[in-house]
Structure 1
Amino acid sequence: MKSLGRYGVIGAVLIVAALAVAVPAARYMTRLQFDQLSERGQNTLGLAATALRGELARYRNLPQLIAQHDDIQALVTDPQNQVLIDRVNHYLRDVNALLGSSDIYVMLTDGNTVAASNFEGPVSFVGENFAYRPYFYDALTSDEGRFFALGTTSLKRGYYFGAPVRTPDGPQGVVVFKMDMDMIETSWHGTDFRIIVIDPEGIIFMSDRPEWRFAAIDQLTPDRLERTAATRRYAETDLRELPVTRSVDPAGHLLLTVQEGGDRTEYLAVTESMPEAEWTIKVLMQTRPARNQALVSVAALLLMLGVAALGWLSLQQRRRRLEERFSVQREAQEMLERRVSERTADLAEVNHRLEEEVIERRATERELRKTQADLVQAGKMAALGQMSAALSHEFNQPLGAVKAYAENAAVLLKRGRIDDARQNITDISSLTDRMAVLGRHLRNFARKPNERLQPVALDQVLRETLPIIEPRLRGVGVTLDVDLGPVPLMVQAGNVRLQQVLVNILSNAADAVEDRPYPEIRLTAWREGGRVFVQVRDNGPGVPAGILARIFDPFFTTKGVGKGLGLGLSISYNIIKDFGGNLTVANLPGEGAGFIIELPAAEAAHLPEAAE
């Protein structure tokens, strides 16, 4: 009886100790699991926000470009001209099909739509009035309109960009570009988390759960309903409140409990704001797996404590109940083996998921590299396009001479002056060789490079770059002053991509000195240790201090509309980074800007012929 009483006391103490350990352990493990869940959600949130921002940036400037079309500017001044209406309708239809957008349409200053890409469709915007939309009056008053809404005519969700159609008499209309967001939303399906995008009034307008769309996670106050109705953001859709209960755990994690039918689902929410679109993005992850994992961890801890207690009790009974102790130890060992097997299976599952994530990230990295290569090629095509007028002159001049020589040769042959005719034919051959050399340089510059880096002679790259850039420099009236030093310099790079960097930087320098009375551009190169430095400086106005930090950002340009994509310096910066170098810019003493290209030096022992 005394033994039973003692064991009862010991058992009670163990139970109290287990409870004392289990409660804080459960809180700690739950917090740890929630921290890991929040970190996963932040990664997903970053990807979702980046995708949305990328889509908005992709189409943002298109309405301004479309608004400059001659037919559109003529139409807003003569909206009754049926020939112009038909021509603009077909133009908008072709552009819409090319860009893969939802709709493009033209409105007059009274809000009436006079032309649209869907003019042939069953639901046409032609004749509709959308003056109540913010993108319309924002475009007329502040040069840019942006708005997300459900189309009142098409009943399709979209993001609208508006731009004014300017004429000498001022804004005479608005071009509206509607972007379809369904593809981004579709990519969110099939995941173990929920992504929602909320408007300024707390209404969900994008979600991988269709039943959550147009539901509010905040209270629909009369003020919010009135503001939403004023812009007809969601047309005639009935808005409702999603049954959500908010709470915050001790670690500061936001928890949302949603009543779905007869079930209540708890989510951990992470949030990011998109002020440029007045959106809020939330990623919701179910907490049930995390709580279950925390309970499993606490149970394992209690099991270990229990095993330790059993071991201690077994030592106390060693002399009296040796056989019982062995039995208890075997049972405990079997239990531990089962737990180890279960944990091993869990670890194998986690490793499998990690391998899948690594494969997915590698695929994403390959896609990013391909996109970067396409941008580099687009930059080269843009540079060639900007120099097309000067290059045309370079070809037209020898072509005119060839024609004149050919006609003279025919006359000389008719008169029997064979030697003079032979000299004309020799001159024609020389001019043809000159055009072939220029064409070969342009062809080599335009083709896509491979990724292999190799020792490259800097003077050879410059010789192949000059025929491409010389027409542009000659058109500005500037002579390039080159100083590569007394010793030939070798760099570790790619021939064609390095040519593209030099073309972009020299073109920018030519633009900077175009209005100078005495334009000057100087290119110098030198070596310091294991690095080679190339400086291109001009005597232009320099780079304004306010944009020095943004000059290498994609799509950032100080040139007028239609004079540049804002990709040249961004592409050049990334090319030099791929070479293991660095590209910087600074305003030099006196006047003018200086770009410095820093590249790894290479030895001239072996110089492959292939230039990418």
Structure 2
Amino acid sequence: MRHRVVIASIACLVVVAAVIFGGGSIVSRSYMEETAAQAQTTLRLAVAALEGHLKRYEALPALIADQENVKNLVQRPDDKRLQAVTNTYLKEINALLTSSDIYVMTMDGNTVAASNYDEPLSFVGENFSYRPYFQEAASGAQSRFYALGTTSQKRGYYFGSPIRVAGEIRGVIVFKVDIDAIERSWNGGDSRIFVSDPEGIIFMTGSPEWLYAAIEPLTAERLARTETSRRYADAKLRELPVKRGTYVGQATMTISGGSSEREYLVASAQMEDAGWSVNVLVDTGTVRAQTKTTIVAVLLFLGLAGLFLAVILQRRSRSNERMQMQAHAKEELERRVAERTDDLARVNSMIEKEIAERRLTEQRLRQTQADLIQAGKLAGLGRMSAALSHEFNQPLAAAKTYAESAAMLIGLGRIDEATDNVRRISALIDRMASISRHLRNFARKPKEKPGTVSLEEVIGDTLEIVAARVGAAKAELQVTIEKDLPPVQAGAVRLQQVLVNVITNAADAVEGLADRTIEVSAFVEDEGKVSIAVRDRGAGVPAAIQERIFDPFFTTKGVGKGLGLGLSISYNIVKDFGGRLIVRNHSEGGAVFKVELDVASETALEAAE
């Protein structure tokens, strides 16, 4: 047994050693390859951003050089008017193209016009004949050059183009492009990005401490070439302490900073047109930390696996006992299930009886509600009967007068005038028939199902029904119906009942007041919704009763003046239509009752057609 324990221990040590040494190398290589792929992606994006930014301006110098005012200026550089026109033109172009500066030089390198002519550090009057971009453009080539401005002390990329007049080079135009925005985008992140010139000097970087440092030895030849072109003006150049090497097959660069050193994985690419080297550095410390974490995780997994195996072996010894306990528990469960099944059967029987009783109660409640609705409508008709008698008596008296006049006119032989009286009597009869028809429809118990309803027709019929009540209250109705209202989903008779109830309540609210205006408006609320609003100039609805105003039998009117069912019935009718009835107080006084209804669906419209 002791020998087995020793052998098992040795085997575990061998496995741990293999994981640490062999697995560590494999994991490091895998992480480094993944990091190198990410660095290459970052590098491609950085190069693409730089190339895209520069190519926006590459063809512009040659285009601007072909402008007549530019050509005229290099021929007559002392012409003040031409200078002013060209300065203004260059400033406008520079603002439009968001470049840094644009300036024009004569063949001696003297600047005669610039976009920054009105700034303290204007290029006008400066001589840049020592710059390579001037020398190359003056010889007839399209030039490119990166440098730190000797006047502005700003870094930029210069595009130069010769200005040709009648085939002869008479001057040079230069675009200076600011690339600070791209450099700022490199700040932060897991990668460090820098761009170096042909001499190995870093001139763009997201790490300011590396700016103007060289990753190659600053030999006398390199310094001489840099100073001749004054590429970096008076900037202090220095060497960056760099050691190159490899880590698991990947190129690395170790940079010293003070008392510490950091190793970076390096990915580089050349921008041939610009003569730049773009470099992406990724700290290998992250890779090493990930490798250690992975090794520790593997070892922890092996330890947990061993522990898990020991637990399984221990549990197997208790499996028989647990199986016996489970068999006993199963028998007990089956017994309890049988008991519960019997109990549930009895409860279900009781529930079915209770459901049947509730359905019967619900049917009775609906019938009672329908009776109350009809009672409320008839009560409303009773309140309107006194006013309606005037509506009938007036046309009856007029009809009698017209009839007597017609008899006299016939006796006098005035047939045309008698015929006109008969026509007037017919019109009065039609008016009384219309009022009677609307009242009959209002009083009838509705059997209609919700369908397509035209609001113009419903509101028109409603206004005829409530005209007597509104007249009795000496109120003024102001009706505003939006043009081309779409049909709504409702029932015409029941919707008419809701509007009659709301407008009648408004007439009650304004009766006896100085301002008895009642506003009725219909409009499209939003897509798929149409609203009808009724506003009075009464006292409004107190906040304490706004939540109860639609409750059955709740009323603010005196005894004998209402059952308190009108608004409750109206609320439920609108709810049956799929809409809602709401109330609020207007900011200028009075209450506003609003009925919101759904626009009729296409299927309903087709069925109505």
Q: Which has the larger radius of gyration?
A: 2
Q: TM-score, normalised by structure 1?
A: 0.49
Q: TM-score, normalised by structure 2?
A: 0.49
